[in-house]
Amino acid sequence: MAVEKEIIVAIEFGSSKIRGMAGCKNIDGSVQVLDVEQVDARNCIRKGVVYNVEKTVMCLRHIVEKMETALGMRLCRAFVGIGGRSLKGKINTVSRQLVTKTVISQELVDSLLKNNENTVYAGCEILDVIPQEYRVGTEATTDPVGVLGNQIEGTFLNVVARTEVREYIIRCVEAAGLEVAGVFVSPMALAGCVLTDTERRSGCALVDFGYGTTTVAVYKNNLLRHLAVIPLGGNNITQDLCTQQMEEDEAEDLKIKYGSAYSDLNQEELAKNLLMNNGRTIEERVLVDIVEARGEEIIKNVGAQIKNSGYKGKLLAGIVVSGAAANIKNMDKAIVEFLQVEKVRFVRTVPFALHGEAAGQVLRDGSLNTLLALVGEGNLNCVEPKPVEEKEEVAEEEVTVPTQEYEAEAEERSEAGGKEKDEDGGNEKKSKPGFWAKMKERLEKFANSVSEE
């Protein structure tokens, strides 16, 4: 059967989980969520980068099988996102001196862009290029075509990552039986989904708090100006708590239930003991101090990246926060206190409506924002009907028992077939008794046995 709507399939390689989603985009901008699957990826992905290809392929195959069962269709391709520790933005400048004053043409601008794309970064490849501005003579502009000048200089932000990051992702997806329909830079896809036009124009820092990394993307005047990935995330807080002699799952639960990124309570108010497994306890003050200390470190690293961008104090829209690791209590207070900003907006879910039974699997904690953004970026059908297995029908031979009217004919065939000559006229050979001869013998035996009785 034909697919009525294009079904977009997207896969996100997170530090804690590999997630897959299938959905249809509606005319009104909403998304029909058809299925969401995820598997634990902590033993095959580190800091958002594949390090164990074989285990990653196994996880992907598991997701593909479950999605095909849920959809009743075969997955043939998927869109994927690239993020992780090695992702970053690099500023590069390309200039061209002209012999005489010339009207800048589009061909000249394209040649600058092509020269920039040929820039070599040791061990890295360029994933995307964002032109920042062009300078013709002493004037800066974002659209130099038509301007008169004898020199042009273009400034570009190259989004780069280690070469093997993209290579490993594509290899794993193809080994799982899928074609890679498209590769997106995850932070840019997320920004395109959750940031408003005002935030991109006025300036903001999109901060995505993940399990193993924290990504900072700075926007100003509708352009990405800075991109960096901090190798610290929510799991670092959990691991700090594990130093208090507790299991990781228990530390995660205590962090979510009692942890605080910023606490204004005094020591007396934090004096109670919290019950742990096996009847053990931990002082609330100790737990809060650990969570707050690591949270402060991560947030201050975010502040350092904003400063490195050159736009500190120029981001009128403030900080936009996404990601599941940002759900620690008082995270907003911590950001305001440690970064000295006034505006902080949390993105718990995407700004468009979600429909379908599977939409209930999308929690409002920011954990699936990037995956939904990848589905939104997809523009190609990713499924096809499962082939129907044709079974050959074998006709059964009908066997009928001969009646008396056929007995004479059977006897004649038996006598005639007793001896026959071969095709060469050679020696005679005995023929094997046919079906009717055997049947006649059985009938005679049956008749004799009846007469004897």
Residue boundaries of the structural domains of the chain:
88-161, 197-348, 404-452
pTM: 0.83
What pLDDT is stored for residue 177 in this prediction?
A: 96
| 34 three-state secondary structure | strand
Q: What is the DSSP letter of 6?
A: P
Cα–Cα dist 126/161, whole Å: 7
Contact 232, 213 (CB under 8 A): yes
* Nearest CA-CA partner of 307 in 235, 225, 379: 225
Instruction: Give the number of residues written for the chain.
Output: 453
User: Bridge partners of 22?
Assistant: 9, 35
What pLDDT is stored for residue 448 in this prediction?
A: 63
Q: Which CATH number fits domain 88-161: 3.30.1490.110, 3.40.50.300, 3.40.50.1980, 3.90.25.10?
A: 3.30.1490.110
What pLDDT is stored for residue 275 in this prediction?
A: 82
First to last CA, the chain: 68
Enumerate residue ranges in the chain where pLDDT < 70.
Answer: 1-4, 265-271, 388-440, 442-453
For residue 428, CA distances in Å to 423, 432, 437 come to 10, 13, 20
What pLDDT is stored for residue 401 in this prediction?
A: 46
Q: What is the DSSP letter of 386?
A: P
Cα–Cα dist 21/63, whole Å: 9
Name the CATH superfamily, with its identifier, for domain 197-348. Answer: ATPase, nucleotide binding domain (3.30.420.40)
What pLDDT is stored for residue 121 in this prediction?
A: 96
What pLDDT is stored for residue 251 in this prediction?
A: 95
Angle between helices 435-452 and 407-416 (to 10 degrees): 120
